[in-house]
A and B are shown apart, each in its own frame.
Chain A
Amino acid sequence: MAITCLVTAMTAESKPLIEAFQLKPVPQRGLSAWVGNEVCLLQTGMGAQRAAARLETLMSILTGIDAFINIGIAGGDRPIGQVLLASSVHDHTTGRRWYPHLPPLPTTALATDPANPSVTQEYCEVVSVAEPSSEYRKDCVFDMEAAAVLQAATQYTDLSRIQCVKVVSDNPQHPIDDFSVKNVGPWMRSTIPTVQMLIDWLASQEYKNTTDTFKTQVHRLVTHITELCHHSATETHQLRRLLERYLAMYGDLPSIEALGNLDSSKRLLKHLDDQLLSYPVNY
C-alpha cells in the first residue's frame, strides 16, 4: 500500500493534521511519527539536519512511503492564513532550488477559506532560511524546513511525489513578534483541502502502483530463487531482468516448479532466455 508522508516541524502544526487524518502514534523511541490509512505524519522538529535524520529513521521502520508533503507555516507579504502550494523551494544557504512537478489544475475550487469557498489555489516560491526571518516579500515566503525536507526526500522519490504546502503566519502588518502559537491550528486546518487534493492526485497515479506491483512480484521471485540456487551479483541482475521481461511478455511469472531443477544458475538463466526467444510476438 502506497503511503503519503506529511512532514511538519512543530507540534502545533502536526496536531490538526493528526486529528483530520485520524493518525495513530508509531511506537518508536525518539521519533514523533503517526500513521493511518495511506497517510503518515512525521514531525521533524526544527532545522535541516533533524529533518534529514528523522526522515531516514522513518523510512527504515515504515515501508510503503512513496510520497512526501511538507506542510507548515511561513512568512511573506501575503494575507495571513493564505494557503500556498510551493512552485519552487529554494535553499537560501546553499543556493539550491527544486521545482516540484505540480498536479493538474484542480477542476473545482479548493475551499481553503470556509468564508470564501471560491478561493483559487495560490502558488509561490518557498525560501528556506537558517534563522527566523523578518523580511517579507511578495514573490516568496520564508520558512525553515522545506529545503531540508526536499533535499532528504529526493533520496527516496521524485519531484512529482514531493510537494510543499505553506500557510502564511506572519506578514508586514502582523510580524513574527506578534506570532501566537494558538493561531496555528486553524491555519493548518485550512491547508487540508490542498493536502487532500495532493494525496488524491498522488494516489491516482495508477501506473505507479502497477509498476511497483510489477517490480515487487519480480523481486519476490528473485529472492526466492536466489535462496534456492546461488547466483553471483551479475547473475542476480540478469535473473531480475529476465524475469521482468518474462512477466512483460507472458503476463505472469513462471512458477518455481516450472523452472525445473534449480541446481545451476547458468542453466536457469539459459532456460528463461530460451523461453523468451520462443515467445511469439504477433500484432
Chain B
Amino acid sequence: MISTLYIEREIAEHPRTQAIVQRFPKSRQISIDRYGDVFNQPAQDFRQQKQAPALILAKKHGRRVLPTPPGYHIGGSRNYYFSHMLNCVYDCRYCFLQGMYRSGNYVVFANFDDFFSDIRATCEEDTQTPSWFFSGYDCDSLALNPVTAFTDEALNEFERLPNARLELRTKSTQIRSLLKRSPVSNVVVAYSLSPSAIAEAHEHKTPSLEKRLQALQELQQAGWTIGLRFDPILAADNMQTLYGDLFRQTFSALDVDSIHSVSLGPFRLPKPFYKRMIRLYPESQLLAQPMNTKTAMVGYPANAEQDMLGFCQQEILKYIQPHQFFPCVSITNPVQAVDSSVTSATTEPALSASLQQEPLS
C-alpha cells in the first residue's frame, strides 16, 4: 500500500503517470519539481522509509542507457543497462541499494518511451551485432509491474527490435502478463535464486524458492527463455549442503538444455555502501560475519570466497554446459577445469559503483 505519491510537475499530465496515480486513489499526492529533491535530500533513514515507502513519479533526464562494465555479459559483446525504477519492493539484507541510496522510497520514471527510443538508437549504432540490455540493476524488473506495466511495454518494444536482447532480472512471481502473451524470443527472464533457508533469513518479502522455481517452470513451459542467477553466494558452515541442494532442486525442476545462461557471483559491496549498511542494520548477522574490509570492495576473505565459488562452479557444471555458464568473478580455485570462455566473462574489479555488487533482484 502506497500512502504518499510525489509527482514531478513535468510528468504529472503524462498518461502513464495518471494511470499509476489512479491505482492509488486514497494516497496523498504531493507535487514536486525534481525527484532528487525528495529522493536525495539529506537526513533520511532508508530503513525507516522501507517500512512505508512513498512512490515518486518522475521523468528521467540525461543518459538513460549506459554501457555495462567491461566483462559484464551473458554472451554478448555490446552490453547496456537501464533503470526505469530505483529501489525495490523487496528487502534483501545483502542488497547494495541500502548502501547506495539515502532513501527507501521508490522512484518510477514514467517516460518509458524515452528509454525505448534510447534503446533503439543504441541498437542502430551497430545493426550487425546484437545489443544486450539489462533491466533490474536498481530494482526488481517484474515486482512492481502490476503498477507500472513496464514489462508489457518493454516486451512490445523488444518484439520489434530483433537486433536487441533484454534481460529481465527478478525474484518476483508476477508473471501473469508474460504468460498471457506469446514468448518474445529475444528476452531472457532471469531469476535470482538462493537456498530456501538463506532466502528466508535474508531475502525479506520475496517469494519463496519454491514459488520462484514454479514461476520458472511455467515460463519455460510457455516457451520463454530463462536464466538463473546464483548471486550472491553467501557463506555458511553448511554452504555445501545448502547450495548442493539448491542446484539439485533447481536443475531437476527445469529443462536444463534450454536454460539460456547461469551466472554465479560472490557477496561483494563497495566499502562505503557496506559502512552505511552496518549503520542501518548493526544487528544483522549477515553483515557481522568476517569480511575482508581492507580493500575497496568488501567481501568474504579471498580464500573462503574462492572455495565457495569453486564448489558452486563444480556443482553447477555437473548440470549445464560450460557455454551456459557465466561467473561474475574469476574463479581461480575451481575443483574442476572449465571452458576458457568462462574466465573471459569475469567482472573486472574497476566497475562503476552501482555495478560493483552485481546481484540485484
CA distance A98 to B38 in the complex (A): 8
CA distance A247 to B238 in the complex (A): 22
Known: A248-B285, A282-B236. A104 touches B1 (CB 8 A): yes
Decide if A102 is an interface residue (CB 8 Å cutoff): yes
Q: Is the CB of A283 within 8 A of B195?
A: yes
Interface residues of A in 133-161 (CB under 8 A from B): 154, 157-161
Closest Cβ neighbor of A204 among chain B residues:
B51
Closest Cβ neighbor of A85 among chain B residues:
B28
Closest Cβ neighbor of A106 among chain B residues:
B3
- Interface residues of A, count at CB 8 A: 39
Chain B residues near A249 (CB-CB < 8 A): 285, 288-289
Chain A residues near B290 (CB-CB < 8 A): 276-277
Q: Which of A49-57, A111-119, A192-200, A207-215 contacts B (4 or more CB under 8 A)?
A: A207-215
CA distance A277 to B289 in the complex (A): 8
Closest Cβ neighbor of A162 among chain B residues:
B43
Decide if B198 is an interface residue (CB 8 Å cutoff): yes
Closest Cβ neighbor of A125 among chain B residues:
B30
Closest Cβ neighbor of A207 among chain B residues:
B47
Report the minimal beta-carbon distance from B240 to chain A, rounded to whole angstroms: 12
Closest Cβ neighbor of A208 among chain B residues:
B48
CA distance A249 to B4 in the complex (A): 37
Scan B84-107; emit 1 where CB is below 8 A from any A CB, else 0. 000000000000000000000100
Q: Which of B43, B47, B195, B278 gathers the greatest number of chain A CB atoms within 10 Å?
A: B43
Q: Is the CB of A248 within 8 A of B43?
A: no
Scan A228-251; emit 1 where CB is below 8 A from any B CB, else 0. 000000000000010011111100
Query: SS class of chain B's interface: helix, strand, loop or mixed?
Result: loop
Chain B residues near A207 (CB-CB < 8 A): 47-48, 51
CA distance A205 to B287 in the complex (A): 22
Q: Is the CB of B237 within 8 A of A281?
A: yes
Decide if A87 is an interface residue (CB 8 Å cutoff): yes
Chain A residues near B351 (CB-CB < 8 A): none
Q: Is the CB of A105 within 8 A of B28?
A: yes
Known: A158-B43, A249-B285. A283 touches B201 (CB 8 A): yes
Chain A residues near B52 (CB-CB < 8 A): 101, 103-104
Q: Is the CB of A281 within 8 A of B30?
A: no
Which of the residues B1, B28, B289 comes within 8 Å of A102, measured between beta carbons? B28
CA distance A96 to B288 in the complex (A): 38
Q: Is the CB of B282 within 8 A of A215?
A: yes
Total contacts A to B, CB within 8 angstroms? 105
Report the minimal beta-carbon distance from B3 to chain A, rounded to whole angstroms: 4
Decide if A280 is an interface residue (CB 8 Å cutoff): yes
Q: Is the CB of A160 within 8 A of B45?
A: yes
Known: A102-B28, A276-B290. A283 touches B284 (CB 8 A): no
Closest Cβ neighbor of A213 among chain B residues:
B283
Chain A residues near B45 (CB-CB < 8 A): 101, 158-161
Which of the residues A98, A104, A241, A246 comes within 8 Å of B41, measured between beta carbons? A98
CA distance A177 to B42 in the complex (A): 38
Q: Is the CB of B54 within 8 A of A102?
A: yes
Interface residues of B in 4-22 (CB under 8 A from A): 4, 6
Decide if A123 is an interface residue (CB 8 Å cutoff): yes
Q: Is the CB of B54 within 8 A of A101?
A: yes
Known: A103-B3, A283-B198. A159 touches B43 (CB 8 A): yes
Scan B235-250; emit 1 where CB is below 8 A from any A CB, else 0. 1111000100000000
Interface residues of B in 273-332 (CB under 8 A from A): 278, 281-285, 287-290
Chain B residues near A241 (CB-CB < 8 A): 278
Q: Is the CB of B235 within 8 A of A101?
A: no
Decide if B341 is an interface residue (CB 8 Å cutoff): no
CA distance A101 to B282 in the complex (A): 22
Interface residues of B in 33-47 (CB under 8 A from A): 37-38, 41-45, 47
Chain B residues near A282 (CB-CB < 8 A): 236-238
Can you name 8 A-B residue pairings with CB atoms under 8 Å? A97-B37, A101-B45, A102-B54, A123-B30, A159-B44, A159-B45, A160-B49, A245-B288
Q: Which 4 A-B pairs have the closest CB atoms?
A: A283-B197, A248-B288, A245-B288, A158-B45
